Chain A
Amino acid sequence: MSAKPKLRSVWVFHLNTGACNGCDIEILDILTPFYDAERLGVKLVGSPRHAHAMLVTGPLTRQCYHGAKKAIKAMPPKPRIIVVIGTCACSGGIFYNGYPIYRRPESGREGCEYPRRGGIIELIEDLRDEGEYVGPVIYIPGCPPRPEEILYGIAQLLGLVEKKLEGEHYTEEVGFELPEAPINERIRLTLREKLRHVVGYFDRDKILEDFMELVKKAEESEKPKEELKKLIDEYNAKIRDVRISFCMRLLENEYWRVRDALSAGKEFVYWV
């Protein structure tokens, strides 16, 4: 953090190659008071001639390709840094193989290669083939990346921070664990799916966990149904959130319903 920056002044030109605007707005956002990229010496300039670096967004549509090429060629011969912002520019994003997206013939349009191809790298490789110098490239994925993430990328470029991510390759050696839930896995999955419709995928796991905790406690007692009801009342009184209380009640009903159905031996299959 205290490292002396390699570059103290980075003038950037913003090159949108068909992005949805999200990344572009975030680029503007890093200039605003909360992020203030000017601290790092970043300045958004109006002409590629002034730029040290090109901030590229977008999946590189064919219509943009020619202009983007011109823009990079219009930069001073060095350093020509390319800052690739957003998933689209990194790899084509969700649009990666639509018909208007530019891909080098050798990149193909579909396939299982990884890292996934697409985005601005296609243009950079074309330029390098033509003998144009293109400087270092830094990728900042995200859809869109948070302003902090862009700042982080730029700080990395300036040598202020180190990169944190490493490619990972896990094999079976890491071991496998099949988490054991306190309740029957099938019931859990059913409840989980039900919760998705009530509070959504994000909050469901936490609520379900709490619920299972209570169920586990309740199952240990003699009258699980009454016990569970009591526990849930206590829990709701503590958490004081209308929605979570609602879910708990719902889960309680569902739990008993599914469990009864299961134990009655009825065919019960859930699907994702």
Chain B
Amino acid sequence: MPVTLRYPFTELEAPPEYRGLPHIDPKLCIGCGACVNACPPDAILRIDDYDRGTRKIVLDIGRCIRCARCEEVCPTGAIRLTNLFEAASPDRRDHIEVVELRLVRCKVCGNYTDFTERQVKKALQILPKEILEEEALEEKVFICRNCRRKGTVDATINATKEVVL
């Protein structure tokens, strides 16, 4: 009466409660970096490239400790711990998941800002429409911090930032 499981000669699914491999849904990720801040082992990186105007959210499954703090803090539910577990690989590069997002180009100075286009969209979704008219916001949102500091300090944009981060 052996009780041995057939695995690895058969497929096996971990229970739905299992905190398995993390996965970023690239369609949902807005690149806000909340997960980066929450991640205890720094398995998630936020790498901004201001020359090319991209932000990379890099997830290294080989560094992840499966604590699911990222899932807990993610505002869009983009990063989730699946119940997959078969991550073994001879190549560490297989453990990398990169989501590369475009940064917003500042309308004033033309440099890239430190937030992504998707972040802005999300912020706009959350912000109560009653508070500001959309057009006015759109204008001011696409401005980098420096230029903004130079210009008038807009309380609502500050609020936006707060919301997002």
Contact = CB atoms under 8 A, between A and B. Distances in A.
Do A's and B's CB atoms come within 8 Å in the complex? Answer: yes
Interface of A: 1, 33-36, 39, 87, 90-96, 112, 114-116, 118, 121, 136-143, 145-146, 148-153, 155-156, 160-161, 163-172, 174-179, 185-186, 189, 196, 201-202, 205, 262, 265, 269, 271-272
Contacts of A139: 62, 88-92, 95
Nearest to B121: A178
A116 B98 contact: no
Contact size range, B = 35 or more
A161 B8 contact: yes
B125 interface: yes
B122 A143 contact: no
Contact of B125 (A94, A175, A178, A202): A178
Interface in B1-32: 2-5, 7-10, 12, 14, 17-18, 21, 24, 26-28
A205 B27 CA distance: 18
Contact of B121 (A87, A168, A176): A176
Contact of A35 (B4, B41, B42, B85): B4
A148 to B, nearest CB: 5
A33 B101 contact: no
A115 B77 CA distance: 24
Nearest to A186: B126
Interface in B82-119: 85-102, 118
Nearest to B27: A177
Contacts of B27: 174-177
Contacts of A172: 100-102
Interface in B31-55: 34, 40-43, 45, 47
A94 B41 contact: yes
Contacts, number: 197
Contacts of B8: 1, 148, 151-152, 155, 160-161
B122 A178 contact: yes
Q: SS class of chain B's interface: helix, strand, loop or mixed?
A: loop
Contacts of A96: 41-42, 63
A34 B4 contact: yes
Nearest to A145: B85
B76 to A, nearest CB: 7
B140 to A, nearest CB: 19
Contacts of B122: 178
A88 B90 CA distance: 16
Of B21, B63, B92, chain A has the most CB atoms within 10 Å of the CB of: B63
B63 A87 contact: yes
Contact of A148 (B12, B43, B97, B118): B12
A35 B4 CA distance: 6
Contacts of A93: 41, 63, 65
A138 B89 CA distance: 6
* 10 interchain residue pairs of minimum CB distance: A153-B88, A170-B26, A94-B41, A143-B65, A90-B62, A115-B92, A155-B8, A201-B72, A91-B63, A140-B88
A127 B75 CA distance: 45
A165 B89 contact: yes
Of B21, B24, B42, chain A has the most CB atoms within 10 Å of the CB of: B42
B159 interface: yes
Given A153-B88, A201-B68, A165 B126 contact: no
B163 interface: yes
23 contacts: A33-B4, A87-B65, A95-B41, A114-B96, A115-B93, A138-B89, A139-B88, A139-B92, A139-B95, A140-B88, A148-B8, A152-B86, A163-B90, A163-B94, A165-B94, A167-B94, A169-B96, A169-B100, A171-B100, A171-B101, A172-B100, A174-B26, A179-B76
Contact of B87 (A112, A140, A161, A171): A140
B41 A142 contact: no
B141 interface: no
